[in-house]
Amino acid sequence: MKRSAVSLVELLIVIGIILVLVGILLPILGNAKLRSNETVCASNLKQQSTAMILYSEDHQSQLPPLLPANILALSPYLRSKEIWVCPQDRYDRGSNIDATQRLMKRVSTFPVPTVLEEFFNALVETTPNHGLVTCYLHGHQRSPVLNPNYAINDFSGRVLTVRKDGSLWTRDVKHRCYTDSKGGSYGGRSFWDAYSDQPMPKGALDEINAGLTEIECGPSTR
């Protein structure tokens, strides 16, 4: 009996050691996975931005005109068609729902929306080296359901963007909060922040925000 009791203690110690090791290793492995996903995504974004530049060289310096149809316009400039999905994308419909529907293929990333004229003009004016294509999916995803309004997608944190000069830009952008005329409140990342590190000029997003006003985020919405 005595011998068996010692074995039980030994067993518990071994289990304890294993649990500690798992506790140490899991975050390390998790971070390694995040980093490798980021590398894949960055490479995909880079190919997408190169395709956009090649397209513009063939079209009087104009970027592909429509979001998300621009993704179709880019097909001839891409060697691989398998680059639209970020490994961080957990949504069946792709985080870029419109583009996924039109391409009938999952799309995770967002090429700069040149069709939103106020937005694009303000972007070019304030940020000559603006983002061409971006992925939101490397930060915190606060909700499993995407808000169809791209201006207030419910994400915050890390964003990956390839800029006009081809450089990769990774950074955390803040969660923003909005209210509408009826007192409804919304939270999410400003679409502007994905493409620019400059303050958003008034009016640049008012059109697509359809009357939303930015407010201070409360402790519960931050």
Binding site for Zn ion (CB under 5 A): 41, 86, 88, 135, 137
Q: Three-state DSSP class for 115?
A: coil
46 versus 102: smaller Cβ distance to Zn ion: 46
138 versus 164: smaller Cβ distance to Zn ion: 138
Range list of H helices, 62-141: 69-73, 97-103, 117-126
For the bound state, the minimum distance from the C-beta of residue 162 to Zn ion, rounded and expressed in Å, comes to 11
Rounded Cα distance, 74 and 160, in Å: 20
86 versus 99: smaller Cβ distance to Zn ion: 86
Rounded Cα distance, 12 and 31, in Å: 29
For the bound state, the minimum distance from the C-beta of residue 88 to Zn ion, rounded and expressed in Å, comes to 5
E strands, the chain, are 110-111, 131-135, 140-141, 155-163, 168-173, 175-179, 185-189, 213-215
109 versus 209: smaller Cβ distance to Zn ion: 109
